[in-house]
Amino acid sequence: MFDPPIDLSDLPGYQAAASTRPARVAFLGRCSTKDNQDPRSSLAGQLAEASTLLAPGETFTACFWDVESGMLGLDERSQGSADDYARLGVAVPRDGGLRELLEWAERGELDRVVCERISRVARDMLPSLQVEYHLASRGVRLECANEPRGGMTTGQLELRRTAQVRAEIYRHELLEQSMRGQRQHTADGYRHGPACYGYVAVVDPDAPPAANRFGGGRPKMRLALHPDARRADTVREVFRLRRVERLSDGEIAGVLAANLDRHPLAEGQVPWAARRVRKMLFQPKYTGFQVFNRCAARTNRSRMNPIAEWIWSRQQAHPVVVPLEHWHQTQLVTAQLRQRQAPGWDRVREAAAQRGIELTTVRQSDTHILYEAAGRRLVLPRGDLPAAVADEVIAALEAGA
């Protein structure tokens, strides 16, 4: 109905010139971690579904797939080594993962990318859209085997965006269910993560059998004291040195390193260092309680969650190495020591602001400044304020307030 009024088919450019080069089509696949899915069957099934979009005589130029969570951001994808993937024994050839696919598209080496469904690209909507945009902006079409062919673009787009929303909702549902299970796991006192120094993990013979849809599940484990009693004694000594003698992390590490016969190292670990001491002093499991959600595991393992967000077992679940009261006192001492490491003037100004006290300069010389605060006059040196002097000033502000 939109044809020209006369036959123009004899004109040059009437039809787009057909390309003589075969289309370069790539397969994109992903399955979750090898503990949750069998990559061999999952990826082979995805490849079979994606192959239905190939034209007669067409083959995949390259195959890109990962065995990892779809909840990862783009900068965290495709981290496994070639040796790791070779050990999986997946029959589908692998030219790389999602990261390599984007690099191929950047170099103009692909025309189409085919996957089973959009959730195989990513579970979160943002990275899924980023991949889609990256490919489209380079003239590469992303196709999904579970989407209908033909029709209007708006209908296809609505289906894809709906699938992306559904994938992200499913992702959050999985996280909620997982967190619920982890909370209950902790409340019952079962172990989370590797055993900390001074403990070993043992199977709980009284725990109900764990099973999943593949058959046998992981046994539930608890913490028990390490057979070498020196390790528990080392933990107690570390807490005593901080709580009673108020030693710094480095000073405590020096004490331990000076007597390795009394304070043995864990298997395969480097000599005692301030960082290891700091982690030990902050470990609440030494109180006999099981604790979960101390760090942001999925986003940044080095970022600690507020203590108010920690999940504790209902009762003590394993032998106590450090009484809960001593652990609490140790955290207070640690906070005081860290506070004293801050610049003296920052501490004084913060203490004054917390008490609504204004520091007013009365007069000054080349070496000292006379301040007035809360009805008192304080003569303080110019420049950096030593920690001991800052302690005295803060005590005077507290007395004046």
Q: How are beta strands 368-373 and 376-381 bridged, if at all?
A: antiparallel
Tell me, yes or no, whether 252 and 325 share the same domain.
Answer: yes
Instruction: Classify residue 336 as left (phi > 0), alpha (psi -120 to 50) or beta.
Output: alpha
Rounded-to-10 torsion of CA 55, 58, 59, 62: -90
CB–CB of 50/115 below 8 Å? yes
Rounded-to-10 torsion of CA 377, 378, 383, 384: -140
Where is average pLDDT lowest: 32-41, 116-125, 252-261, 325-334? 32-41
Mean pLDDT within 134-154: 89
pLDDT of residue 18: 66
CATH for 153: 3.40.50.1390
Tell me, yes or no, whether 152 and 29 share the same domain.
Answer: yes
* Whether pLDDT at 143 is above 50: yes
* Whether pLDDT at 319 is above 50: yes
* Whether pLDDT at 192 is above 70: yes
Closest by CA to 265, choosing from 306, 230, 240, is 230
Q: How many domains are there within the chain?
A: 3
Mean pLDDT within 339-364: 75
Q: How are beta strands 141-144 and 112-115 bridged, if at all?
A: parallel
pLDDT of residue 355: 77
Alpha-carbon distances, residue 77 vs 41, 67, 80, 98, 122 (angstroms) = 21, 10, 9, 7, 10
* Whether pLDDT at 287 is above 60: yes
Range of the domain at 240: 225-338
CATH for 353: 3.30.920
Tell me, yes or no, whether 299 and 377 share the same domain.
Answer: no
Q: Let me know if residue 180 belongs to a domain.
A: no
Q: Average pLDDT of the chain?
A: 85
Instruction: Give percent of the chain with pLDDT exceeding 70.
Output: 91
pLDDT of residue 120: 92
Q: What φ, ψ does residue 370 adopt, rounded to 5°? A: -95, 120
pLDDT of residue 199: 95
pLDDT of residue 139: 93
| Among 137, 154, 171, residue at a domain's last position | 171
Question: Where is 362: in which H helix or E strand?
Answer: strand 360-364
Tell me, yes or no, whether 243 and 314 share the same domain.
Answer: yes
DSSP classification of residue 149? P
Tell me, yes or no, whether 29 and 150 share the same domain.
Answer: yes
Tell me, yes or no, whether 162 and 231 share the same domain.
Answer: no
Closest by CA to 30, choosing from 167, 133, 185, is 167
Q: Let me know if residue 149 belongs to a domain.
A: yes
DSSP classification of residue 312? E
Rg (CA), the chain: 32
Closest by CA to 160, choosing from 198, 121, 188, 187, is 121
Helices (H), 137-197: 153-187
67 Cβ partners below 8 Å, 6+ apart? 30, 31, 32, 33, 34, 39, 43, 80, 85, 88, 90
pLDDT tens per residue, range 5-36: 888 888 888 887 666 678 899 999 999 875 56
Question: Where is 278: in which H helix or E strand?
Answer: helix 274-281
Q: Let me know if residue 178 belongs to a domain.
A: no
Mean pLDDT within 345-349: 74
CB–CB of 265/272 below 8 Å? yes
Tell me, yes or no, whether 43 and 86 share the same domain.
Answer: yes
pLDDT tens per residue, range 216-267: 557 888 999 999 999 999 999 999 999 999 998 999 999 999 999 999 987 7
CB–CB of 290/190 below 8 Å? yes
User: Cβ of 371: how many Cβ atoms within 10 Å?
Assistant: 20
Q: Let me know if residue 304 belongs to a domain.
A: yes
Question: Where is 99: in which H helix or E strand?
Answer: helix 98-106
